[in-house]
Every structure is written in structure tokens, then in C-alpha cells.
Structure 1
Amino acid sequence: MSAATNRRRAILAAGLTSLALAATVFLVRSPVMPSASGTMASAIPAPTLDEPTAGRPKTETAVLAGGCFWGVQGVYQHVKGVQSAQSGYAGGDAATANYDAVTTETTGHAESVRITYDPTQVTYGQLLQVFFAVVQDPTELNRQGPDVGPSYRSVIFTQNDTQQKIANAYIAQLNAAGAFPAPIVTTVSTGEFFPAEAYHQDFLSLHPNNPYIVENDLPKLNALRSTFPELYRD
């Protein structure tokens, strides 16, 4: 068991409040490591294959994993047409869908975000464009920014056949276009989503001055605002 895990267990055993726990979580994350690919793409093409806007239901869901769920959730909470974004875990079993277990990097879970959206306002393809352009670096395997391990891997957990076709086609499109300086390692998979603990929810909006958020996640929010002004909302 790592020193970080021991520290986290000690925090839980001490019975700290959820707010105090949230303020200390950033201390037990992995040290900063350089990015293998240098930078993320600031602008990438829209998907050529996407879902139609006409005749769609008012609510659909998408599940995306791209590193620490604090930033992923925070970005999508500012995307037009997104009704809610919830941090959680996907890719493993219900029994291990908790932060203590997932951070052992043995559960198969990835930190994920379930996005509930109105497909008449924002398409699945647009959500994926934001995912690849500003949320995470899809060329990093089992790592995003300072966080290292398979729970931080890049995964699109599709909810139906249409999403699977769009996701696979988009990855192929971006690779063919050379949109990134290295091949995309994002996988397309399925898996049940399990909500994360309450202290992880809305972390960016509740703790904008947290050092981890300032360094790693606010730049993503700024990138959303500048790269996709038509999709950004306050």
C-alpha cells in the first residue's frame, strides 16, 4: 500500500468533514510528470459522422473518462445543452467503485463523468470534440497531467451502437488527419457507471482556488471558452 493510500485512510479514520477531505485530496495525487506528446490540440475538426439533431429525445447520456474527474466534470458543466455532469467510476465492478479501491489501480475502473445532455442543443459528436480538444490528451496511456495509473486512462464508454460508431469513426478520422503529434490511445468500451463520493462532486466549482484545480483544470475551462465560444456557457 502506498504512502498516499495510507494518508488517505488516515484522513478517513480521523472523521474529517467532506469539505476538509476535499481540500486535502489534491495532496495525495501523483507528482507532476512531463507530457509525452508535449501539448494537447487547441483545435481539431468536428466529426464527420454525428447523430442528427432532429427527432431526438430531450435527454441522452454520455460517459467519458479523461483523467481526474474534477476537471472533466467542471468542463462539461459549462457546455451548452449539458443538463448535468456527475463524477464517478466506470470499467469495474460495483464492489470496488469507491475512491479508496480505485486508487489502488487494480479495480479496472477509470475516473469517469456521466453527462446528461439535450441532443437537440449539443450533439454527441460535439461532446467528443470538446473531449479531444480541451479535456484531455488522448495520446497519453494511463496518464493525464500529474495523475498516473490506469484509473486515469482515456476511455469513451459508449451507451449504444450509435455512440460506438461515432466514437470509432471520430478516432479514425483524427488519426488519419494527424490531429495529434502521436497516435490516439483513447479506447472505446462499455461499462456500468457508478457515482463517486459526495466530496468529489462539483469539485471545480466549489474549490476554484484549490492548487490542483488552478494548475490542471482551470486551463481546460479557459480553453473551452476560447476554442468553443458557441458551446461555452457561464
Structure 2
Amino acid sequence: MKATPIPALQRRRSLLAALALATGGGVWLAARPSAAAEAAVVVPAPGTDPAVAPGSTSEVAVIAGGCFWGVQGVFQHVKGVSGAVSGYAGGSEQTARYDDVGLGNTGHAEAVRISYDPRQISYARLLQIFFSVAHDPTQLNRQGPDTGTQYRSTIFAQNLEQARIAQAYIAQLTQAKTFGNRPVVTTIELQKRFYPAEAYHQDFLTRHPDHPYIVINDIPKVDNLKRMFPAVYRAQPALVGTGV
């Protein structure tokens, strides 16, 4: 198979991983910048939050907000979530591979598929967490140190009802000027297929808590979830394990 070049940003992440494994992360952890992660923002509760349909016990949400390691890690700690899988959405099956997506021209975004019980947590509530602690929805085609359309802020609505809820919530946040003068750039893409990422990406935050990228960018997100949403935070994450 023809080798695919890895862009500089992806190459940097690979080098960080190698150095972390070689040094135990100590060199990088000692120099951890305290303000590297995006700051969490208190966002209002969604005004549109329909009642649960009778007999509904499991539903799916797909979202994208930068590197999927941290987004997956956040939602794995949310009560009512039975699973969160890192993957790709927005492009074709043929290009749903990490090296291809990293080129930034496949249409894919690094995304997370969330399986949840709507009797315990609603779709709108998941979006509140998404906009508050999981990522910064005002960053266009980037998130923190990662740049490119593959890191865009997107809600991959699974049906028209999800699209309606997402549109209403974005409008609500915009009208309330929740993020000041910074516009919400989150897009909504309807019924795009999701493809699970390679096994080594799954549960990355839990399996590599000392990885410098995780320490700097993602652990603070889980800490913010615990602090800002204590009613829905759970200490034990819902892990993928080997069954991707």
C-alpha cells in the first residue's frame, strides 16, 4: 500500500507520544502550561429539550470538536452514556483512516459517537456539555493546538429532530452572546455516516493519562466536567475496551 505522508501537526503528536513513552512523560509534565487547554464556559441550559419518547432506552449522538481523545474522554464520564467511540464522520469509507483524515482534505472530522439512555440524560443536555467543557465552539477549523477542517466543530445530527434541537440551541447561545463577541461556528451535518477509528485511539485518555497532550489539553476538560456538571459526572468511565 502506498505510504501516506503525515502532516506536520500529526507528526508532532506522534513525536510527543514517542517521547512520552521514552521518558515516562516527566520531561513534558514538568513544563506543563497551566492555561494550555481551552477554558470552560458556563452556558445556559437548552431552551429546547423535548420529552423522552415512550419505550426509548438507547439513542445515538455524533459530535466533533477537535482531537477525539479529549471529547471521548469527557463523555465517557457522563452518567447515562453507555459508550463513546472515537472515529471519523463527514467523508467516505475509503478515507476513514487516521493518516488520510490528517491530510485535512477528506471531508472527515475527528468525531465521537455517543450511545446514551435518554431517560438519564437528554440529547440537549449532551449538547450543553459539548458547548461548555468538551471544546470551544468559537474556533473555526481548529481546536487548541490542532488545525484543519478535520478538527472542526460539528454536530452530526442523526435525524431531523436532533438537527432542530441543535439549531435552536446554537441560536439561543448566539442570541444570549454566551461567548461575547465571538460567534459560534459549529456546523450541523445531517445523517453523515460514522466510522470507528483505529483501536489504538480508543480510550486514549484513560489508557494514557500521563501523555503530555492529554495532560495539557484533555484532563482539564474532564476536571471541568466534574466541577461544572457534578450531577451528571461519574468517576468510572464507560470504556470501549477492545470491542470497537
On whether the aligned pair clears a TM of 0.5, the verdict is: yes
- Which amino acid in structure 1 is aligned with residue 68 of structure 2? F
| 1:79-129 deviation per Cα after TM superposition (whole angstroms, max 9, x unaligned) | 010000000000000000000100010100000000000000000000000
- Identify the residue that residue 216 of structure 1 maps to in structure 2: 217
The C-alpha deviation readout for 1:187-220, integer Å capped at 9, x for no partner, is 0112100000000000000000100000000000
Contact 1:56 1:119 in 2 (8 A): no
Q: Could you tell me how far 1:50 is from its partner in structure 2?
A: 1.2
Amino acid at match of 1:67: G
Distance 1:45 1:86, change over 3 A: same
> Does the CA-based 8 Å contact 2:7-2:102 persist in structure 1?
no
| SS at 1:111 equivalent | strand
Task: Look up the match of 2:52.
Answer: 53
Q: Report if aligned partners of 1:51, 1:162 keep a CA contact under 8 Å in 2.
A: no
Contact 2:7-2:103 at 8 Å conserved across structures: no
* Distance in 2 separating the partners of 1:21 and 1:157: 35
1:157 is matched with which residue? Answer: 156
Write the mapping of 1:1-234 to structure 2, written as runs, cut at 5 A. Answer: 1=5, 4=8, 40-53=39-52, 55-181=54-180, 182-190=182-190, 191-234=192-235
Please state how far the C-alpha of 1:39 moved relative to its aligned partner. Answer: 5.6
- Residue ranges of structure 1 left out of the alignment (5+ in a row): 12-18, 25-31
SS of 1:49's equivalent in the other structure is coil
Give the 3 Å change call, closer, same or farther, for CA 55–136 of structure 1 in structure 2: same
TM-fit CA distance, 1:227: 0.5
**CA distance in 2: counterparts of 1:4 and 1:72, whole angstroms:** 22
| Residue identity (%) | 56
For 2:105 and 2:231, the matched residues in 1 are separated by 40
- Paired amino acid for 2:184: I
The CA distance in 2 between the partners of 1:129 and 1:161, in whole Å, is 19
Give, as a single letter, the amino acid of the residue that structure 1 aligns with 2:186. Answer: T
- 2:19 and 2:90 map into 1 onto residues whose CA distance is 25
CA distance in 2, matches of 1:204, 1:192: 24
Q: Measure, in 2, the Cα distance between the counterparts of 1:23 and 1:55.
A: 49
Paired position in structure 2 for 1:27: none
Compared CA separation, residues 21 and 91, structure 1 to 2 (3 A): farther
Asked whether the 8 Å contact 1:40–1:180 carries over to 2, the reply is no
Cα distance in 2 for partners of 1:189, 1:21 equals: 37
- Scaled by the length of structure 1, the TM-score of the pair is 0.85
SS in 1 for 2:86: strand
Measured at CA, do residues 43 and 56 of structure 1 come closer, stay the same or move farther in structure 2, by a change above 3 Å? farther
